[in-house]
């Protein structure tokens, strides 16, 4: 089997028996599973069924298996000869790793709402540059939605170098990498010195950026403390406190829009999106990019009431995390789960300069799976 995830040291098979349900397998450690015959034909890894370089499937599993193959075990591995003369070979460790009952070693961490005493995982820059440190940081970010890198060099573009270690930077109308500092004629409130209430970036996009990185190069100004709040925690609180408000905000699409001299980007979606189990998928809370409320007049009062409840929950001390980002620190957060903001700062009291970029969550998940190959058990 041509695979990148190690499996060579899995237990050997001791029995393979045809049944009415397919083929029943038993390994030397007593583990058992039964799989349909079509599953084995679909997963044949010979060069006729899988491309030898790309490992992509070439076989199309549309034909029923009308006659069972001959079954042989040799050296603990499975050999099948199909009625049409095709041969399939399966390594016992690969089958053990891929059986339906197995926990995939490359599975991603489940999002976990913040506890009362939550503070983000901190990984030193030097440690992040090692597989173990990067794996720990990525795991924390996908689990908690917020993580820090500390003791990093004070050099411009380091945020891009760190990002591209994981995957390509996500480009938006603000570019691939952007500077966050006060400047004349700003086209976004982030480029001023005003305080920023909690928000996500770019809810006016059909697909808002998944992950945001903010790298602190200078922070000598008075004020400007960073604010964060966990959407998963707040939505749990909203569900308990005011389920009607949750229903309104998750079932009522509203308009978001950003306009400047060169762009006009708009999208319509609910403030809260839940999955089929009622768990949070994304938040789109950004009050200054919220466009005109185009709702029937009789629904507006209820929507505004629900919006007020959510706003107050996010901005309550019970749900806010506040700390000062210092030079040489990079904060990363799930832009579609964790809201961020900042206190007002005085631009005359000192320089404040952050560089930022975005990443797709798929790239974080991909990188974590690649890193898992070097540390994963084979069974």
Distance from C-alpha of 205 to C-alpha of 186, rounded to nearest angstrom: 20
Tell the CATH topology of 13-102.
NE0471 N-terminal domain-like (3.30.2020)
All structural domains of the chain with their residue ranges:
13-102, 121-369
CA angle 9, 14, 18 (to 5 degrees): 125
In the chain, helix, strand, coil percent, each to 5?
A: 25, 30, 45
- Residue 336 near residue 210, CB atoms below 8 Å: yes
pLDDT of the residue at 192: 72
What residues in the chain have per-residue pLDDT under 50? 184, 378-379
Residues 6+ apart with CB under 8 A from 59: 41, 42, 44, 48, 49, 50
Give the 3-state secondary structure of residue 55. coil
pLDDT of the residue at 347: 85
Distance from C-alpha of 80 to C-alpha of 87, rounded to nearest angstrom: 6
pLDDT, tens digit, for every residue of 180-194? 876 545 556 666 778
pLDDT of the residue at 332: 98
pLDDT of the residue at 378: 43
A 10 A CB-CB count for 126 gives 12
pLDDT of the residue at 191: 62
Q: Tell me if the domain spanning 121-369 has CATH number 3.60.130.10.
A: yes
- Residue 134 near residue 371, CB atoms below 8 Å: yes
- Residue 3 near residue 371, CB atoms below 8 Å: no
Distance from C-alpha of 24 to C-alpha of 15, rounded to nearest angstrom: 8
DSSP letters spanning 127-141: HHTSHHHHHHHHHHH
Q: Taking Cα atoms as reference points, which of 261, 212, 20, 235 lies closest to residue 114? A: 235
pLDDT of the residue at 100: 93
């Amino acid at each position: 089997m041509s695979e990148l995830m190690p499996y060579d040291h899995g237990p050997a098979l001791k029995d393979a028996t045809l049944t009415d349900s397919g083929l029943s397998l038993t390994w030397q450690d007593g583990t058992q599973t039964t799989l349909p015959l079509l599953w084995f034909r679909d997963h044949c890894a010979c060069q006729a069924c899988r491309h030898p370089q790309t490992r992509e499937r070439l076989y199309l599993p549309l034909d029923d298996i009308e006659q069972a193959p001959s079954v042989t075990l040799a050296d603990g591995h499975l050999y099948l000869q199909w009625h049409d003369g095709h041969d399939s070979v399966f390594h016992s460790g690969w089958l053990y790793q891929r059986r339906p009952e197995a926990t995939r070693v490359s599975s991603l961490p489940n999002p976990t709402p913040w506890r009362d005493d939550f503070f983000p995982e901190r990984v030193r820059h030097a440690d992040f540059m090692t597989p173990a440190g990067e794996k720990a940081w990525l795991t924390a970010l996908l689990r908690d939605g917020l993580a820090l890198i500390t003791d990093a060099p004070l050099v411009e573009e380091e945020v891009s170098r760190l990002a591209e270690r994981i995957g390509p930077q996500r480009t938006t109308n603000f570019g691939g990498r952007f500077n966050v500092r006060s400047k004349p004629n700003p086209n976004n409130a982030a480029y001023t010195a005003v305080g920023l209430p909690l928000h996500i970036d770019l809810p006016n996009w059909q697909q808002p950026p998944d992950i945001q990185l903010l790298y602190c190069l200078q922070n000598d100004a008075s004020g400007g403390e960073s604010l964060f709040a966990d959407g998963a925690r707040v939505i749990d609180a909203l569900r308990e406190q005011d389920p009607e408000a949750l229903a309104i905000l998750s079932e009522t699409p509203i308009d978001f829009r950003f306009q400047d001299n060169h762009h006009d980007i708009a999208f319509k979606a609910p403030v809260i999106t839940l999955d089929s189990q009622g768990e949070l998928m994304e938040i789109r809370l950004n009050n200054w990019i919220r466009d005109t409320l185009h709702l029937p007049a009789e629904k507006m009062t209820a929507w505004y009431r629900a919006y007020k409840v959510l706003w107050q929950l996010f901005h309550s001390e019970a749900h806010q995390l506040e700390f000062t980002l210092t030079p040489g620190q990079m904060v990363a957060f799930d832009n579609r789960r964790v809201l961020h903001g900042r206190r007002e700062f005085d631009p005359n009291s000192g320089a404040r300069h952050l560089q930022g970029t975005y990443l797709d969550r798929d790239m974080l998940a991909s990188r974590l799976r690649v890193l898992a190959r070097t540390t994963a058990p084979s069974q």
